[in-house]
Amino acid sequence: MDRAHQLRLLSQGEIVVRGRVVDSSNQALLVAVRLEGAEALACYKAEAGERPLWDFPGGLWRREVAAYELDQLLGVDLVPPTVARDDAPFGPGSLQWWIEGATDDHYFTLRDREDFDAPARALAVLDVVANNADRKAGHVLFDGQRYWAIDHGLCFHRDDKLRTVLWEFAGEPVARDLLARVARVADGHTGALARWLSPDELALTQWRSGALVEAGVYPSPDENGEWPPYPWPLI
């Protein structure tokens, strides 16, 4: 099924809850989505099931949608198709295409694969621009053919909160074509992001984009900063 049909199915399909995603911290649900004879699985994250956080406002699912929109703007294509649904069984939330056939691999088992270098570098850029505060190794999936990145509810904070396991590119140059797309975001080509982020969050996303373009290299972890540069647990 091509991307357009995936998005249409997620946006318009009937949602049937199948069960809870094991080990999810915010009551993520596995659902079936059905439309005109087509059916697929998706991950449904409802605002009603979110655990309150002291530093992020409610509605983390909006950041999941924003991360997909940013992924598309940057041409990274690692975040599974993700949409917002107001008519879902437990109220407003995000629906993300379920990655079937995902192996037991994670970032630390995938990092030595030759074909993983380019996707990993692209993902590192996405996380810098999105200010991802929780890029665990387990949030990187492999379905046997390609790589995916999931769980973006803790992104786009106004404070610098980058916490990731992808630090090995620190100080290395960002690819020109990827940097050019980052520059477009810095210049205001932000697509639908304004729908999902506050004005401050959007402005800071543009600022981070501009700072990355100006530096031209991947940032280095600040071991003495206010926030730890690594997520916990790592996987």
For the chain, give me the number of helices (H) and strands (E)? 7, 7
Write out the two tokens for 143.
Answer: 């379905």
Using CA atoms, how far apart are residues 167 and 229, in angstroms rounded to an integer?
9
Asked whether the beta carbons of 209 and 186 are under 8 A apart, the reply is yes
From first to last of the 235 residues of the chain, give the pLDDT tens digit: 899 999 999 999 999 999 988 776 678 999 999 999 999 999 999 999 998 999 999 999 999 999 999 999 999 999 999 999 999 999 999 999 999 999 999 999 999 999 999 999 999 999 999 999 999 999 999 999 999 999 999 999 999 999 999 999 999 999 999 999 999 999 999 999 999 999 999 999 999 999 999 999 999 998 777 778 999 999 9
* 211-217: long-range contacts, CB 8 A cutoff, minimum separation 24: 212/125, 212/128, 212/129, 212/174, 212/179, 212/182, 213/179, 213/182, 213/183, 213/186, 216/173, 216/174, 216/179, 217/171, 217/172, 217/173, 217/174
Cα distance between residue 156 and residue 128, in whole Å? 10
Q: How far is CA 153 from CA 2, 45, 46, 113, in A?
A: 25, 10, 11, 27
Answer yes or no: pTM beyond 0.85.
yes
pLDDT at 168: 95
Position 227 scores a pLDDT of 76
